[in-house]
Structures are given as structure tokens and as C-alpha cells.
């Protein structure tokens, strides 16, 4: 594998000095890019994109061709794991993800087994390898997975939900069943992320989209505890390089100290958190990733710059900040706004670091 | 008006000693009660219920006939205010609230005017008076309104939204327009709540359902600042009684200190907050209302009791706690679970207060 030319992201995640603040965007390969929609239409469907390593590589690289992003992130979906567990993932038009066989039955839950990523998720690992080759060491590749609780939400509800009534009824009425699902899913995610690391992922991120819908105590027991197990089971070094791990819970503000204590290198922040306060609370232990409101990208260029600069200033001097949105980029975002944002972060962050613009390797 | 026989709620909201922890539930008059569905079907529609003081009184009282609740809350909808401003509220079957004339156009925004609650919202004030008469002083009646930002979300989007893209685009691209909407709406809500107080509401609550979707700084500027103006403009005493004001923002955890500082008597907590931590942070300044996960009510009786007792214990000894859910009760809740919860709160909270079961006046 080629040596990494721009390792700014890795250094920032490990709170080592960098010349500027690195930036990437959650869901940076996506529907706001016309070239993505073209590839998707050739692939026939979203799942067709995910399951074909050639297409997955193509769309992963698309935003990097347009913007000076400091990382690529594997194009995939968090629900590939429950799909590999046999739940039958499909996408109903205009309705989001669904499972043919949601987990409601006690026997199905008892029978749930950890998939072999090298078999059932081979297509993802192939995509990781192919993307690494295609990147040629330009920027690092981030691998990812969903948190066990977030996956369980979809697995038990059978799709997206407004109120998570089914999974929460299980949580309160039959916590043993939910713990069983979470246990198997945590093992599955651990194996899966380790397989991504072996295939070439240079950092990994756990997306806990729904953990914030839990009560304060239930979050720790049903979401955080299982992310902690995953982190404890990850290969943290591969091919001589340290592999940073990022944990992102939407609605994280109530649990920042708890999240920072599970052994991750960095904590992803949604936009409701003040990053200055977050740094004061946990910045001595972990790096912070975030946290621009994705809706800022609908505003004129000067507003995008002003809001980005506010976040850079709020984090302040020194390393340990990876600029990102507080959630995935909207499909309605104008691509020029992304270019403006990325360039602004690179330019405006120089003053918070030791180096100058010329030292940027990207 | 009859003297209040059970004023436990009022005392708890004012952090005065009580014999037990009072309890009421957000959306306690609602679809989980068969008698509510019968009245609604007679009324023909949800708006038909809201706009007819007789029906509104009937459904407001229904949960009090079943459960030993310590308060009644006016049956109405937060969107009656924008409806009175001329936006044309309607409910499309299975789609939630909609406006015929959403606020998108600069001239419409400039023309927005404060409605006269005595005229356009007369039906609400009549309901308040009729409910007060019907209650006969048994428990206090809570009046309410939506927060300006939450109302603006619906007014600009034209209905519910997944991403609040339109209102947030306005916030970042044309903050002057959004401030104009919020200004007029804050004045409207102030007049409206004062009219409810004059008609007989004995406590008032502001529901900020969507404030938590804002960035940390934007919440203060676009949601909290306008709730502060409302609180500053409220009649805090009427007919010789103090009228407590409660502020509830869903996703409040990031801003508890800020909310507690706007002059309200109590802060409503969603279930993601640890009420023990919330008391440590702001309990010396305000009472706390909350914060059971509504999904707990789907669990067996012993779980409902255990989870309710956890919250009582977390708040601990002394006054200043009003037990409630962390959000509105689900339409799928079994009514027996509510009875179990209310009885449990009354019984189990005695140990945290000075008195005994016999001193309960309800």
C-alpha cells in the first residue's frame, strides 16, 4: 500500500499537531452530487451501488475529485450488517430502508448469529481494498459501522420509525431479548470493522444515529456499553499504523464524558453542542469531530464562511479537531457550498495551528 | 371561582413544600382513551374538538375521571395561534397539521399581525372558562402555547418536517425574516397566554418541541430569547394567586442553565436528561417537570413502577418536582399503565416529602 501523503486527519484524530484543521463531511458521497446520481442510476439502486465494489469505489472518490477533502469514507450502508445476518434488507421507494424479516420473535432472536464478514460482507471488504488502491495514498480511508443499538432499532422495528415503540417496548418489557440482539450485533460489528481495517480502512467510525432517543440510563446500558465492547475488540494498529476510532451519537450532549471514557480516540458532535464547551469537558482525553449544522450549507457563501469560522474559533488553538457537519449532508445541498466550506476551513484554520498554507500536503 | 382543593402542582412548581410529588402527563387527554375517541368522532375532527368549548371541556376532564391526576391541561393545539394569524390550519388525514398559506413570501411576513385572542381565539378562552367551572376547584388548570420558534417551524415549512430545511434556510440566509416572524409570534403568544390566565388558567406552559433542532448558538438567539420575552410579558399573578410558568424544550440537556435563567418557575425535561444531574445544575433556581420515557408505559406494571421510582429517587428529597413524561403520551398506551403510574408516583413519593398519604387533598 502507498504511504499516506496527507495524514492530517489521522494526526488530528490522535491529537497530534497538524498544519490546519482537516475536514470531511458525513455522507460526502451522495445525492447532492449529480455524478453520484448518474452512477446510482447505472447501478439501478442504492443497494446495487453498495454491493458492487466498482460502483462503491467510483462514488467514494467522486467528492474527492471536486473538493480538497482530507479523507475518503467508504461508501456503504450501516444496514449491510443486519442484512448479512439474514434479515433481508430492501429499500421501498420513498420509504427508506426496510427488513423483510424484522426481529420480533424470541426464537429468531435466539438463533441470531454473527456473520462472517469475509463471506457475507465480502463485497464491502472488496470495496475497501479497491478504494485504497484507487486513492493511491492521497488521503486516508475511513471505514464505518452502525452502533449495535442503532442497528437494533432498524432490526426490531423493521425500518425507520417515528417513536421506536417496538424496540423500546422490548427494552423495557424484555431487556434480555434486546441485550441478546445487541450482544450478537456488537460481535458482528467488531468482526466487521476489524475486517475493514485488514482490508485497508485507516480509521473507523461508529454511527449511533438513534442512541439519543434513549433515557439517560438506558443510553449507557443499551447503546454505550456495546460501543465500548466494540472499541475494546478493535485492532487499533495495522500495517504499522495506529487506527483511530471515532464514536458519534446524535444527541450526544448529555453523555459527552461517558462517551469520551469508552476508549475511542475521537467523539463526533452533532450541531446542538457548543464545541468550546465540549472541548472543555472532554478535549483533554479525545479529539472532537464536527459540528456544523448541515442547513448552513443552504445559506450564501459569506454565511457558510462565518458559521465555519465560528466553530473553528470555538474549538480554538491546537490540534484535536476534525471539521465536519453535525450530521449527514442533505441531498439538497449545492455542491458549490461544499467547495466554499472546505476551502474556508483549510484557509481559516491555519491561524489555530503552527504551520502555514504551504505546509498542507493535500 | 372555587378555591383550589388540591394545589399540590402549584406549590411544587413554586418549590414550596408538598406532601407528595404531583403528577400529570403531557397530552393526557388523547387518543389512548376510548372516551376521547368517542368524543372526537362526535366532533367530526381534531379541530372540531379544539374549536368547540363544550367538547374541549369534555375531553380535558376525561383523564381526571379515570386517574388521580394533580392537574388538568387545556385541550387545544399549539397551532391555533398561527391559525388565528390567518395561515389556515388543517389536518390532512394521516399527515399531521398543515397550513394552507405557509409563510414563504417576504410581504406576507411583513404583513403578519398579532391576533386579538378575545376575537380570533375566543373559542379557546371560552374553553378555559368552561373547564375551570367544570373542575370546581378540584385541581388546577394548566394553559399552554407553542414557543415562537416551534410555531415558526410549522408556519414556514407549512407542516411537519424531517429536516426543517425551509425554516433553517431562512434562519441562515434571511435571519431578519425569521426574527420578524418570531417577534410577531412572541407577542401573539404573550397576549394569548395572558388571555388564558385571565380566563382562568392557573399555570402556563410553553412547548418548544423543535428548539432542540437548532445549533447551540441559534437556540439561544432564535428560540430561547423569544421565550424569555414571553415570560417577561406574562401576568404572573391573577386573582390573588401566583401563576407559575413552565418552559419545555425537547432536547433541553445542552441548555439547562440558559433555560433556567429566563425567568420561568419550572423547566420541563425530556427523558434523555438525568433528573439528578438537572437538579444539581439548576434545581436551586427552578422546579423540574418530567421525565419518564413515554415508552415505559408499554411495559408490565412492575417495570412502570420501577422506572417511576428511579426518577423519584434521582430527584430525591424535597419539593420542586412535578412528575411527568418526557414527551406526550403515545396513542398506543394502555390506560391501566397510566393508572398504575399515577398511583405509584403518589404512593412512592411520600418518602421524599414531609407528609403522609392522608394529607393528600386530591
DSSP secondary structure letter of residue A209: S
Say if residue A357's pLDDT is above 50: no
Any B CB within 8 A of A300 CB:
yes
Report CB contact under 8 Å: B330, A163: yes
Mean pLDDT of chain B: 95
Query: Model confidence at A95, in pLDDT bands (50, 70, 90)?
Result: confident
The number of angstroms, rounded, from the C-alpha of B328 to the middle of its chain's C-alpha atoms is 9
**Gap between the Cα atoms of A34 and A181, Å rounded:** 38
Instruction: Report CA Rg, chain B.
Output: 19
Any A CB within 8 A of B326 CB:
yes
Say if residue B357's pLDDT is above 60: no
pLDDT in tens, A208-266: 999 999 999 999 999 999 999 999 999 999 999 999 999 999 999 999 999 999 999 99
Say if residue A325's pLDDT is above 60: yes
Say if residue B63's pLDDT is above 50: yes
Say if residue A358's pLDDT is above 60: no
Q: Are A115 and A128 in contact (CB under 8 A)?
A: no
DSSP secondary structure letter of residue B159: B
Q: Are B259 and B252 in contact (CB under 8 A)?
A: yes
**Gap between the Cα atoms of B23 and B139, Å rounded:** 11
pLDDT in tens, B215-248: 999 999 999 999 999 999 999 999 999 999 999 9
Q: Smallest Cβ distance to A296: which of B164, B172, B303?
A: B172
Residues 6+ apart with CB under 8 A from B163: A295, A330
Q: Lowest-confidence range among A47-56, A92-101, B74-83?
A: A92-101
**Gap between the Cα atoms of B152 and A187, Å rounded:** 45
**DSSP H or E run through B96:** strand B96-99
- Taking CA atoms, B91 is separated from B27, B94, B96, B158, B343, in Å, by 18, 8, 6, 11, 35
Q: What is the pLDDT of residue B104?
A: 87
Span A157-178, mean pLDDT?
95
Q: Which of B177, B254, B259, B270 to mutate to test the interface with A (most CBs of A within 10 A)?
A: B254
Span A139-149, mean pLDDT?
98
Q: What is the pLDDT of residue A2?
A: 65
Report CB contact under 8 Å: A217, B173: no
Report CB contact under 8 Å: B214, A272: yes
B27 flagged as catalytic: yes
Q: What is the pLDDT of residue A284?
A: 96
Q: Lowest-confidence range among A103-107, B57-61, B174-178?
A: A103-107
Q: Which three cell numbers stand for residue B303?
A: 417495570
Query: Model confidence at A361, in pLDDT bands (50, 70, 90)?
Result: very low
Say if residue B359's pLDDT is above 70: no
Span B278-299, mean pLDDT?
98
Strands (E) in chain A, as ranges, are 72-73, 89-92, 96-99, 141-146, 203-208, 237-238, 241-242, 245-249, 266-268, 287-292, 321-325
Q: What is the pLDDT of residue B244?
A: 98
Query: Model confidence at A1, in pLDDT bands (50, 70, 90)?
Result: low
Say if residue A199's pLDDT is above 70: yes
pLDDT in tens, B21-56: 999 999 999 999 999 999 999 999 999 999 999 999
Phi and psi for B320 in degrees, rounded to 5? Answer: 105, 15
**Gap between the Cα atoms of B266 and B347, Å rounded:** 23
Q: What is the pLDDT of residue B360?
A: 43
Q: Which three cell numbers stand for residue A96?
A: 427508506
Q: What is the pLDDT of residue B1?
A: 60
Query: Model confidence at A207, in pLDDT bands (50, 70, 90)?
Result: very high
Q: What is the pLDDT of residue B358?
A: 41
Mean pLDDT of chain A: 95
DSSP secondary structure letter of residue B253: G
Percent of chain A topping pLDDT 90: 94
**Gap between the Cα atoms of A155 and A99, Å rounded:** 7
- Taking CA atoms, A346 is separated from A4, A135, A317, A360, in Å, by 19, 21, 14, 9
Residues 6+ apart with CB under 8 A from A198: A125, A235, A238
Smallest CA–CA distance from B218 into chain A, residue: A272
Domains and CATH numbers, chain B: 34-287 (3.20.20.210)
Cα torsion A306, A309, A310, A313: sign: negative
CB neighbourhood size of B111 (10 A): 11
The number of angstroms, rounded, from the C-alpha of A108 to the middle of its chain's C-alpha atoms is 29
B55 flagged as catalytic: no
Q: What is the pLDDT of residue B362?
A: 39
B77 flagged as catalytic: yes
SS3 label, residue B290:
strand
pLDDT in tens, A259-285: 999 999 999 999 999 999 999 999 999
SS3 label, residue B200:
coil
Cα torsion A128, A130, A132, A135: sign: negative
Span A6-21, mean pLDDT?
98
Q: Lowest-confidence range among A353-357, B124-128, B162-166, B258-262?
A: A353-357
Amino acid at each position: 500500500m502507498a504511504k499516506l501523503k496527507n495524514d492530517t486527519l489521522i494526526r488530528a484524530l490522535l491529537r497530534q499537531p497538524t498544519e490546519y484543521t482537516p475536514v470531511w463531511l458525513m455522507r460526502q458521497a451522495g445525492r447532492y452530487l449529480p455524478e453520484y446520481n448518474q452512477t446510482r442510476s447505472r447501478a439501478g439502486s442504492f443497494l446495487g451501488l453498495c454491493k458492487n465494489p466498482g460502483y462503491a469505489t467510483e462514488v467514494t472518490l467522486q467528492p474527492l475529485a471536486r473538493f480538497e477533502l482530507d479523507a475518503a469514507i467508504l461508501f456503504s450502508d450501516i444496514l449491510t450488517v443486519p442484512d448479512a445476518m439474514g434479515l433481508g434488507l430492501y429499500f421501498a421507494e420513498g420509504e427508506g430502508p426496510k427488513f423483510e424479516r424484522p426481529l420480533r420473535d424470541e426464537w429468531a432472536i435466539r438463533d441470531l448469529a454473527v456473520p462472517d464478514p469475509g463471506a457475507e460482507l465480502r463485497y464491502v471488504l472488496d470495496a475497501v481494498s479497491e478504494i485504497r488502491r484507487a486513492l493511491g495514498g492521497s488521503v486516508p480511508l475511513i471505514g464505518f459501522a452502525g452502533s449495535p443499538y442503532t442497528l437494533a432499532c432498524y432490526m426490531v422495528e423493521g425500518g425507520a420509525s417515528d417513536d421506536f415503540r417496538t424496540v423500546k417496548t422490548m427494552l423495557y418489557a424484555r431487556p434480555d431479548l434486546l441485550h441478546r440482539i445487541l450482544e450478537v450485533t456488537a460481535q458482528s460489528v467488531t468482526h466487521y470493522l476489524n475486517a475493514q481495517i485488514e482490508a485497508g480502512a485507516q480509521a473507523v467510525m461508529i454511527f449511533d444515529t438513534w442512541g439519543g432517543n434513549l433515557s439517560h440510563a438506558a443510553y449507557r446500558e443499551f447503546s454505550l456499553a456495546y460501543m465500548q465492547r466494540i472499541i475494546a475488540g478493535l485492532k487499533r494498529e495495522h500495517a504499522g499504523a495506529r487506527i483511530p476510532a471515532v464514536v458519534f451519537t446524535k444527541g450526544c450532549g448529555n453523555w459527552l464524558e461517558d462517551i469520551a471514557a469508552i476508549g475511542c480516540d475521537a467523539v463526533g458532535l452533532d450541531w446542538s453542542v457548543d464545541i468550546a464547551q465540549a472541548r472543555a469537558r472532554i478535549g483533554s482525553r479525545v479529539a472532537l469531530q464536527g459540528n456544523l449544522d448541515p442547513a448552513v450549507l443552504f445559506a450564501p457563501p459569506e454565511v457558510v464562511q462565518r458559521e465555519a469560522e465560528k466553530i473553528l474559533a470555538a474549538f480554538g488553538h491546537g490540534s484535536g479537531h476534525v471539521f465536519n457537519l453535525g450530521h449527514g449532508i442533505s441531498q439538497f445541498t449545492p455542491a458549490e457550498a461544499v467547495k466554499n466550506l472546505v476551502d474556508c476551513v483549510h484557509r481559516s484554520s491555519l491561524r489555530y495551528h503552527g504551520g502555514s498554507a504551504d505546509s498542507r500536503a493535500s
